[in-house]
Amino acid sequence: MKYQEFCKQLIELIGGKENIQSVTNCMTRLRFKLNDRKLAKTEEIKELPDVIDVVSNDVAYQVIIGTQVQDIRPEMNQILGLSGESKKSESAEKEKFITMALRILSESMGPILIPIMAAGLLAGILSLISLTGLVSAESSTYLILDAIRQSVFFFLPVLIAISFARRLEVNEYLAVTIALTLMSDTINGAKGLDFLGLSLPETTYSNSFFPIILSIIFMKYVGKLLEKIMPKALQYFFNPVLILIITLPITLILFGPLGTYIGDGLNFVFDFIGNTFGSWSVVMLYAALQPFLITIGAGNFIIPIFMNSYATLGYDPVFTAAWIISDIAVCGAVMGYFFRSKDKKQKQLFGTTAFSAFMGVTEPAVYGVFVKYRRPYVAVMIGGGLGGLFAGLMKVVGYAPVGLFGLASFIGKDNYQNFYMMLIAVIIGFVGAAIAAFILGIPDDEKVEEKQAEPVEMNAEAVTKLLIKAPVKGKNVALSNVNDKAFSSSALGKGLGIEPEEDLISAPVNGEVVSLFPTNHAIGIKTEYGVEILIHIGINTVELDGKYFETFVKQGDKVSVGDAILKADMAGIRSEGYDPVVITVITNTADYLDVLPSSDSSLNSKEDCLTVVV
């Protein structure tokens, strides 16, 4: 249980176990379905050490974590007592059908992508091995390894059956039975079949996508109906067989052709766009706009579209190339900022998020850089758009849904021209976004300033930010690492801690002393702009009843930056077994756009420790 403490904190901040209906995950985020989203303390969740950001939309309440989410989700389920992935709640409001469909579709795609991406990477590796001549494409070794790739796509309905059955709470084994039956030689692609005299259309179910989804949805409602009308004593014996013999013919008569029509319809739409406007337009637009979609949590909407393309066409003419170009453009944009910035803190942020984007995980860059600085969105629109335009005009297609490291899969069956054009498109996307970001620059209002902020009049609106000095000299401690739950969870506001190296506490701002605890271990100061600052000395030091504390001010006094306001005998506090960490938080954090703590490892009373963005 490596992430046990994190899971417990997240569950508590999200409203407790009783507020969680279900929890799933994709590559980088936990997706919660909650009874009441108002109970979730979003800002405090964002402050948890493993959390990158939180996105709440109609599809799900999403906590972005990173690739370690694969390890966190099982521990989360164990603590919640969920053997599967969901928990029913009678008090939950019924979702709108479209919202529910989007959520289930999005949540079900994540597990399926894992073997598909593995198959795609394997295809790329095999292409390279074949190209070098180490292993012939006709050799048994090559054919055995390639069987993995072929099997993943041929038996795609089985993978879909498992994933969707789990999300819809349908018996997985019955769902797989239906999928395997559809793919049997008797049914799959067979001609001249009829059922009870009713002629059945010729339908190929292997590599298909939509027929099995429709079948499992229907299976769910058949199961519910049988539970109502079948005596409980007979349900165990008869319900499974009845579900199968009812679902199978309906699938053959209705869902097979309907699913085929849906797939063909999607292909027709893209053919129409390609013939009318040019498919390059879609590739260009998606490569340019993908970061916006990620920001609003809608990045997964393309999955059923490109999965259908692979199932029906054997390749994807649009989205695989577009998302790879967009990902590398994100990396390029952040690298442009890396070379532009002279601030060590910013360089560290840009460097780590660029590496993450290069590895195919763009959420840290999008939420950590794009949302904050905004201009990188424009850089990706330029670089990604140019790369997507080139790939579209060159009619680049993807043969497997892989990331940057699976570029070799674009070779397909000796289609080297396709590979070379994709490689050029990737370079265009990276270089174009990097240059654009470098030229666009870092917004001045986000740069670290070296002086106390003064009021700035802008259309009668005062102050855009306020810099707060450190109240004491010492080592910077992240608020999440402070050994006090009320502070570390940010329940009292955002801020930071300082391990003190001196006894004197100074006023961090110009303002008024609005509160002073009788024990003198904590003081509240309010600035003329309404920023409320709490300085709390030590953990549980209220128990000292004022011992080791001395005050130089009283409630109602005006103070200026640097004025001595308190004195604490830090050595004496430590001798009593208490942690003397000096905690500084903005208690009305919710009134402002953000509160940003300093990243410097050590601070003194002449340095800024917090930035309040108004």
- Tell me the per-residue pLDDT of 555-566, one tens digit each, with 9 for 90 and over: 889 999 988 999
CA 72, 42, 537, 567 torsion: positive or negative?
A: positive
User: What is the token pair recorded at 55?
Assistant: 């996105």
85 band by pLDDT with thresholds 50, 70 and 90: very low
What is the distance between the alpha carbons of residues 383 and 397, in angstroms, rounded to a whole number?
Answer: 19
> What number of other Cβ atoms are within 10 A of residue 580's Cβ?
24
Reference 157, options 320, 305, 261, 311; nearest CA is 311
How confident is the model over 193-200, as a mean pLDDT? 86
Instruction: Indicate the SS3 state at residue 549.
Output: strand
Q: Is 7 labeled as catalytic in the residue annotation?
A: no
Question: Tens digits of per-residue pLDDT, 422-444?
Answer: 999 999 999 999 999 999 988 76
Asked whether 4 and 75 are in contact (CB, 8 A), the reply is yes
Strands (E) across 287-381 are located at none
What is the distance between the alpha carbons of residues 259 and 424, in angstroms, rounded to a whole number?
Answer: 37
pLDDT above 50 (res 89): no
pLDDT above 60 (res 445): no
Please list, in sequence order, all residues whose beta carbon lies within 8 angstroms of the beta carbon of residue 417, skipping any fewer than 6 positions away.
none
218 band by pLDDT with thresholds 50, 70 and 90: very high
pLDDT value at residue 87: 43
How confident is the model over 336-345, as a mean pLDDT? 85
How confident is the model over 149-177, as a mean pLDDT? 87
Highest mean pLDDT among 362-376, 466-480, 591-605: 466-480
pLDDT value at residue 370: 82
Residue 409's alpha-carbon distances to 92, 394, 400, 476, 477, in angstroms, are 45, 17, 6, 48, 47
546 band by pLDDT with thresholds 50, 70 and 90: confident
Instruction: Indicate the SS3 state at residue 235.
Output: helix
Q: What percent of the chain has pLDDT over 70?
A: 86
Q: Point out which residues pair with 511 in neighbouring strands.
A: 559
pLDDT above 70 (res 26): no
What is the residue-averaged pLDDT of the chain? 81
What is the distance between the alpha carbons of residues 532 and 199, in angstroms, rounded to a whole number?
Answer: 76
For the ranges 99-103, 282-286, 314-318, 475-479, the lowest mean pLDDT is seen at 99-103
Q: Point out which residues pair with 64 in neighbouring strands.
A: 29, 53
How confident is the model over 109-122, as a mean pLDDT? 76
**Torsion angle of the four alpha carbons 353, 356, 362, 367, in this order, in degrees rounded to the nearest 10:** -30
What is the rounded end-to-end Cα distance, in angstroms, of the chain?
40
pLDDT value at residue 197: 84
Q: Point out which residues pair with 86 in neighbouring strands.
A: 22
Return the residue matching tokens 């300085």.
535
pLDDT value at residue 150: 83
Please list, in sequence order, all residues whose beta carbon lies within 8 angstroms of the beta carbon of residue 602, skipping any fewer than 6 positions away.
473, 474, 475, 476
What is the distance between the alpha carbons of residues 476 and 608, in angstroms, rounded to a whole number?
Answer: 11
Instruction: Indicate the SS3 state at residue 47.
Output: coil
464 band by pLDDT with thresholds 50, 70 and 90: low
What is the distance between the alpha carbons of residues 162 and 168, in angstroms, rounded to a whole number?
Answer: 10
What is the distance between the alpha carbons of residues 85 and 73, in angstroms, rounded to a whole number?
Answer: 10
For the chain, how are helix, strand and coil distributed in percent, rounded to 5? 55, 15, 30
* More confident call, 562 vs 344: 562
What is the distance between the alpha carbons of residues 569 and 541, in angstroms, rounded to a whole number?
Answer: 12
pLDDT value at residue 444: 60
pLDDT value at residue 436: 94
Asked whether 332 and 430 are in contact (CB, 8 A), the reply is yes
388: phi then psi, degrees, rounded to nearest 5? -65, -40
From 7, 26, 331, 609, the catalytic residue: 26
Strands (E) across 153-270 are located at 194-195, 198-199
pLDDT above 90 (res 54): no
pLDDT value at residue 459: 36
pLDDT value at residue 460: 33
484: phi then psi, degrees, rounded to nearest 5? -150, 115
pLDDT value at residue 81: 75
**Torsion angle of the four alpha carbons 133, 137, 142, 145, in this order, in degrees rounded to the nearest 10:** 120
Size (the chain), residues: 614
For the ranges 132-136, 293-297, 301-305, 389-393, the lowest mean pLDDT is seen at 293-297
pLDDT above 90 (res 176): yes
pLDDT value at residue 158: 92
* More confident call, 613 vs 447: 613
pLDDT value at residue 475: 92
Q: Is 26 labeled as catalytic in the residue annotation?
A: yes
From 331, 521, 536, 609, the catalytic residue: 536
391 band by pLDDT with thresholds 50, 70 and 90: very high
